[in-house]
Structure formats: structure tokens, C-alpha cells
Structure 1
């Protein structure tokens, strides 16, 4: 029977405050504390579910990467800092989380990034609780938002009875390329907007191949190499988050800047539609509209632990964005044509139909594609 252990997590947050003795408000960094219950599971309850050979990751190549299955999702063990082959222990993890250190084992401490601006551990070390600060007034405070994200993030951690720490993973993806399908490994961060439209969940190899061939029919000759390097050892654990990932690609955060320019000079109805579209972009990314990048080339804001919209909310948000683009933005701003972008085609052809009618049965299609590739 699984149990749990209560831990303390140091969580940074910002507030706009006026200190005692000061006249003007300023933004300051503060520390909050979260009490979280981490599940403790038996080692036999969490076993390899998906295996990727010769994995390609942002951290470099891996000869083999095993994703573990538990609670209908995929998890990865956290390594000790400086020792990739040694596992982080729950005891060391609890010390790091309570102290707000820069690393959680061999990985960055994700709780330092739950705000819309990541916090340096050195700066956080000097932060105090807002209740203990000498303040005249508090004008704004994101503590509740940061604590809510930290609570969801804590639910992505597991301890095992034999002394390992696991974190929920976004899992690997299939991607069709000119040389055939390949496995793209991810650890904990979701795909970025510029790449999400070419990535497919582990159970969607056939669709990844079809999507690639639709983009370039010449790729059919390599479709016979259907072994992408990914092996599903146990079905049911590779959760499919493709709809949200592709929706975020349709509505990349920089699109908020484009829509902001498109709203200049519009009448009240147009500006209202634009505000709804910008709000929809922010909701898809789990942040507020005021937190979207202010400049087109600014980095995306990607805090962990954000709330995830439902399928119906995803569909509504994408339609709101596409509607404003068709009605107002496309004729006013050069570039970023949402309706004809590859991500929108992926959404319309592969994601929206699955939400409305259920996943397609493409298994019979795969042998046809392979045969066409061989004939070519």
C-alpha cells in the first residue's frame, strides 16, 4: 500500500510593495513555503514502460533512455548532481527543496521557476517571507499563483521505498524526417512552439508518418523504416498531450505581440476581439495576458506547474485566435499568417478531428504507406 511523506518547499514570488520609510512602490522578491505530500511507492509499482534507443535530447545523446510507467503517466528518475549514473535520494531532495537551492540533484530546481521570471538561487537566499517584511503597503502580489503552480509541480514528484526520486515526464515523441521516423526524447519541459507541430505522442507513429508524407510526398520512400527507435513496453502510460502542444504552436506567445499591433486603429469591436484573442493565447500557455512577452523576439514564458485547459477550452481558444486572425489581423500585419501556418494545418487535420470524433484508426494506413515507399 502506497504512503506519502510531507515535505517543505521554498517557493519564490514577487510583489510590488512600498517599504516603510519609502514613498514609491518597488518590486521585491519574497519567499513563501509550501507543505506538500509526496507519494511513496513500492519499486515494483513503477517499471519501464517506454524505451528509446539512441535518444536525442536537449541534454545530449543517450544510448538508451527508459521512461517509467505509473499512475497512467511516464516518469523519469532524477540523478544526483555530478553523478549521472547515481540516483537522487529523497533525503537529499527534501534538503534541496526546503532550502531553495539552485539544483534538485543533477537538474535545475523547477520550483525556482514557477513565477513568470525565473529566480536565481543566490538572490532567493536573501528573500524573507512577505509577512515578516517591514512594509507600508502591498500593491500587487503573485504569491497565490506561484504557490498554486508549486503545488501542481509537487504532484509531479514521486519517492520510492528503495530511495529513488522520480519526476513526471513529458515523454518522448515521434517525428518524421527525410530519413524516416525518429524518436525525440524530452525530459520534463513541453515542446517549444516552433517544434511542437512535428512531434507526435508515442502511440501515434502511424500519424507521424502520414503527417510527414503530407508535408513531403517524397518521404514515403523512407516510411518503410518504421522503427523510430522507440519501444512501448507497456501500453497505457504514454499520455497524449498533443492537442495542447499543437494549440500552443498555433498560438505561440509572440503572436500576442502581432495581435497587439493589429489592434492599433481598430474600432471598439475589433479591439475587443483582439483582447479576447490575446487572452486565449495566454490561457493556452497557463499564464496571464500581462505576462506574455512584450517584444516579438523575447523568450517565451514557460513556468512549470501551470494549469492545463480542458479539451473544450483548447478548441474554443484556438477558434477565438483563428477568428481574429481571419477577420482583423491578417490584412493588417505582415507575416505570422496563422491560418496557413504548418501548426494550424496540423491542428485542423490531426488534432481537431480527434477531439470531435475520437482518435483515427490509422493502423491499416501504415502498411500502405510502407508499400508505396518500397515501390518508389
Structure 2
């Protein structure tokens, strides 16, 4: 029984005609080959890690801005909320969550990335000709990213920009965030201008309609007054008579003197608001809207930093340590393989 166990152990300790001890001695004898091969690959790995293009990723985390900070936008807009009829439109346009969604959508937009990269001086210096430009920009566009993080209770987005140096990734991410924020500001101003113009158009149309109604009422009042004057003259009622009251169709109780003056005023009156008071209200709203100067509005941030743009402390890729370790392991494996190959040839 013991002999069979020993035989099986001897057989397992032999590989391709060599015992484990012989393998160890063989590798030891050829250790210089293994060491040299390992060193060659290690040097190659170090050289590649040193000269290979390194990439650095700068990040920032943003969330919705505070309402009071966004309201700064409207502080210098005179009469914005006073009887202008656009207060609700402004509140909707400056909704914090809506602004953040717009910012993130603009941040991810391909055309915005392309516009930023094409107009950035530091990026322009990295490509030489137009033929190289397209491929270069396509690679860089993929390195501008955003990702939703956190839970439903707090809306958080992580923004990242990968560039060829720590400083460059930080600066370009900061510049791109400002670039997008300016676009959001312009979009809000443009949207409000459109809303204000639509409101003015609606009020102008309403004013025209009110003036037509006022002219009809004025004409009807003139006819009634003239008829009442004729009746009063026929009745020889020159002075007001209180007992008649004003329940008659033609109010002759003020007498012919009063009716003549009333008729004169009605014929000469240009103030249609006497017959439609809403005309003055609508006109006041139009004047308020005309006085709104969106160019005076202070710019605002559509976001708030939870984590400001940071300088990356280590490069994103390639990892120099991993490259060197992989080169050493690969070189050692190649050295061992060469030893085995030489033994195979000799055998």
C-alpha cells in the first residue's frame, strides 16, 4: 500500500520527464535569462508609462440653486411683478428644478460641446489642420460627461472633464460650466422676451376690442342724450327736476341746460376709458411691460456646487503602476517560457 502511494507521488512530481526538483534547478540555472527578460520588459513598461499620453479627470457635483439666489436675476427688472401680467411666467422660468434640468441637458448637448471646443483657444492649439480637427474634437467630446448621482430626495449631478493634464482638466471643466450657464441665462432671457411680447400682443388686441366697445357705448350714449334733449325741450324742462328720478329710458330730469352740456361733452370726449375702464388697466399693463429691461437683469447660476471643480490628484488612465507591474509579470512569464522552450528543444 505504501509503495503504491510513493509511486503515485513520484509520478505526480514528474512533468514531461522532469521532477519538480529538476525544474527548480533548471530555472535556477537559467535565472539570468529570466532576470534579463524581466528587466527588458520592465524597462519597456517604464518607458511606455513615462511617455504614454496621460489623462486627468476633473469633477464637480451640482444640485439645484437656492431660490433667493436665482431671484437676484429679477431684482433690477423694473415693474416686473407690478401689474405686468408676467409674474407667473417669470416664476415658471426661474423654477430651480427646471433650471437645473435645462443646465444638464445643455451640458450634455453634442452641439454645445462642439461649439465650446471649437471656440476654446487652448483646445485649438492641440490640432494642426482641419483634417486632424474633426477626429480630435470627436475624441474630446466623449470626455465631457455628466451623471446623475444621489437619491430622489436630493437631485445631484456629477460633471466631469478629462484632459491631458490636471490643470487643463480643471480649467476646461470650469470654463465649460460657465459657458453652459451663460447659455441657460440667454435661454431664460429669450424665453421671457417671447412671453412678454406675447403678453403685449394679447393686451394690445384686448385694448383694440375694448376701444371698439367703448366707441359703441359712446355713440349709444350720445343718441340717448340727444333724444333726451329733444324731449326736454318739448316739455320745456330747462332746470333739473328731482322728482322724475333716473328710471326713464331717456333721462330728462337734468333739464335742457344739463343735457346740452352733457351732449357737448360726449361729442368732444376722446377718453374712451369713460365707457370702458378696462382700457386704462390694459394700457397700464402694456406700459409696464414696455418698461421691463431684461438686459439690466443680473446673471444667475442655474446650479449650486455641492462639490466645486477640483484638481485631480492622480491621472485617470493609463495607470503607470499597473503598466509597470504588468510589464514585470509579463517579462517574467516570457523568461520562464523561453527556459521551457530551450528544454523542450534539447529533449
User: If the TM-score is normalised by the length of the shorter chain, which range does it land in?
Assistant: under 0.3
The TM-score with structure 2 as length reference comes to: 0.21
Structure showing greater Rg: 2
The structure where strand makes up a greater share of residues is: 1
Higher helix share: 2
Q: What TM-score comes out, normalization by structure 1 length?
A: 0.20
Structure with bigger RCO (C-alpha 8 Å, 6+ apart): 2
